[in-house]
């Protein structure tokens, strides 16, 4: 109980400044966005590799650390000896970011923090630009002005391709279609610019959609798997959806965080597309997920204009051949396995037994 109470906080700047983290023998990684889907998988991955992992968390009135609670509890609570240390910070606050980089002196920074919802970025264009765009510049400037040899990973996105038809590779022209994509494109070019102008080891990973049971509940895949679980639990009778025609290249987040790390282990910094190379429509996802529990989507899915976007990205399909060739990376999880894993998780969360509903689920 005592240990949990300590860990439900992050350490203060004063505490942080009193500790010499650079004396740790382990490699040190700093992850912004550690409470998000990718941040949680990446933290697990780096801890398993023996890194000391520092994460940036935002202050909120309720704790939203569900994705990383298990990591907090598995590590000793004393910041000097722990392999997992949390710090308060925000991408809109350059003073705090500067102090963090100065005191933690990370070997690697993974910049995953972002207002990452495309549709919401139309409602919050300025904030999205500040956090996702300028926030990246703040971190790059912190590394540059302190003269650190820190390697930097930027979470760029296939949304930057927007209207440009597939297949999309590292040499495909960009045509962003939302304030989110515009902000990310600015951050992408700042990453490239700090590499070219200031010789930072800075990489931009252009990742296509990746999902998991930890995906935020208002992204389309999780909305569908969670909706199905709620239908089975008798809590929902209709699933209100937007445009079912757009196509996405969906992979598993667990596979994709490994590619982030691989980029920072190369001899030279570069940019890489990370994708499966296969595209499916939102309707395909809906049909697959409903099919796996033997339900007819036509009885449950209804169209709701509230989820239609002012400008849509119609088709994304990445060409991951450079990552395969140079990093030795390739997506491992199949589409069916991904959908099944998400459904199983959401059923359990809703108190529904997957062995009764999920076709092919092993009986316990």
The DSSP 8-state label assigned to residue 145 in this structure reads H
Nearer to ligand NAP, 58 or 330 (CB): 58
- Among 124, 193, 243, 266, indicate the residue that binds ligand G4F (CB under 6 A): 243
Nearer to ligand NAP, 151 or 252 (CB): 252
Q: According to the binding rule CB under 6 A, does residue 209 interact with ligand G4F?
A: yes
What is the spatial distance between Cα 220 and Cα 237, in angstroms, rounded to a whole number? 18
CA distance from start to end of the chain: 32
> How many residues belong to the site for ligand G4F (CB under 6 A)?
21
Find the binding residues for ligand NAP in span 54-93 (CB under 6 A): 56, 58, 60, 64, 90-92
Q: According to the binding rule CB under 6 A, does residue 105 interact with ligand NAP?
A: no
CB under 5 to 8 A by kind: which of ligand NAP, ligand G4F, none does 155 bind? ligand NAP
Phi, psi of 219 (to 5 degrees): -90, 155
Task: Give burial (CB, 10 Å; 0-12/13-18/19+) of 15.
Answer: middle
Token pair for residue 277?
């190379």
CB under 5 to 8 A by kind: which of ligand NAP, ligand G4F, none does 160 bind? none
SS3 269: coil
Nearer to ligand NAP, 89 or 227 (CB): 89
What is the spatial distance between Cα 148 and Cα 286, in angstroms, rounded to a whole number? 47
Site string for ligand NAP, 166-205 (x = CB under 6 A): ----------------------------------------
Q: Note if 180 is an active site residue.
A: yes
The DSSP 8-state label assigned to residue 150 in this structure reads -
What is the spatial distance between Cα 43 and Cα 32, in angstroms, rounded to a whole number? 11
Element spanning 43, H or E: helix 37-48
Q: Note if 307 is an active site residue.
A: no
Whether the upstream peptide bond of residue 167 has omega within 30° of 0, thus cis, is yes
> Which residue of the set 103, 136, 150, 157 is catalytic?
157
Q: According to the binding rule CB under 6 A, does residue 241 interact with ligand G4F?
A: yes
CB under 5 to 8 A by kind: which of ligand G4F, ligand NAP, none does 154 bind? none
Reference 161, options 148, 144, 150, 174; nearest CA is: 174
What is the spatial distance between Cα 186 and Cα 160, in angstroms, rounded to a whole number? 10
CB under 5 to 8 A by kind: which of ligand NAP, ligand G4F, none does 131 bind? ligand NAP
Q: According to the binding rule CB under 6 A, does residue 35 interact with ligand NAP?
A: yes
Q: According to the binding rule CB under 6 A, does residue 218 interact with ligand G4F?
A: yes
Element spanning 322, H or E: helix 321-322
> Which residue of the set 180, 256, 272, 300 is catalytic?
180
What is the spatial distance between Cα 307 and Cα 313, in angstroms, rounded to a whole number? 14
- Among 87, 223, 317, 340, indicate the residue that binds ligand G4F (CB under 6 A): 223
Residue with tokens 């589409």: 335
Which residues contact ligand NAP (rule: CB under 6 A)? 32-33, 35-39, 56, 58, 60, 64, 90-92, 112-116, 131, 155, 157, 207, 209-210, 216
Which residues contact ligand G4F (rule: CB under 6 A)? 116, 118, 157-159, 208-209, 218-220, 223, 241-243, 246, 248, 282, 307, 309, 312, 316
């Amino acid at each position: 109980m005592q240990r949990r109470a300590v860990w439900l906080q992050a350490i203060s700047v004063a505490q942080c400044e009193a500790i010499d983290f650079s004396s740790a023998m382990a490699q040190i990684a700093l992850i912004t966005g550690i409470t998000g889907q990718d941040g949680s998988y990446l933290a697990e991955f780096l801890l398993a590799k023996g890194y000391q992992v520092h994460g940036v968390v935002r202050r909120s009135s309720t704790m939203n650390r569900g994705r990383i609670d298990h990591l907090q509890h598995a590590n000793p609570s004393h910041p000097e000896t722990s392999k997992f240390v949390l710090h308060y910070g925000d991408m809109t606050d350059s003073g705090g970011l500067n102090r963090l980089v100065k005191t933690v002196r990370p070997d690697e920074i993974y910049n995953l923090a972002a207002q990452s919802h495309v549709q919401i970025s139309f409602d919050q264009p300025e904030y999205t630009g500040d956090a996702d765009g300028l926030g990246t510049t703040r971190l790059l400037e912190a590394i540059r002005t302190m003269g650190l040899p820190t390697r930097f990973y930027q979470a760029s996105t296939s949304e930057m391709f927007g209207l440009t038809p597939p297949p999309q590779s590292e040499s495909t022209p960009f045509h962003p279609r939302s304030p989110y994509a515009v902000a990310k494109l600015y951050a992408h070019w700042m990453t490239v610019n700090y590499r070219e102008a200031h010789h930072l080891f800075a990489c931009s990973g252009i990742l296509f959609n990746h999902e998991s049971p930890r995906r935020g509940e208002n992204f389309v895949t999780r909305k569908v798997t969670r909706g199905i679980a709620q239908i089975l639990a008798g809590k929902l009778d209709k699933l209100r959806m937007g445009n079912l025609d757009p196509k996405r290249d969906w992979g598993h987040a667990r596979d994709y965080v490994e590619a982030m790390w691989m980029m920072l282990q190369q001899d030279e910094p570069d940019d890489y597309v990370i994708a499966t190379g296969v595209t499916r429509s939102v309707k395909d996802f809906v049909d697959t997920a409903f099919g796996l529990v033997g339900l007819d989507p036509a009885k449950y899915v209804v169209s709701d204009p509230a989820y239609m976007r002012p400008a849509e990205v119609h088709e994304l399909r990445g060409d991951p051949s450079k990552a395969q060739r140079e990093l030795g990376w390739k997506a491992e999880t199949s589409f069916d396995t991904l959908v099944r894993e998400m459904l199983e998780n959401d059923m359990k969360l809703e108190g529904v037994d997957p062995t009764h509903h999920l076709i092919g689920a092993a009986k316990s």
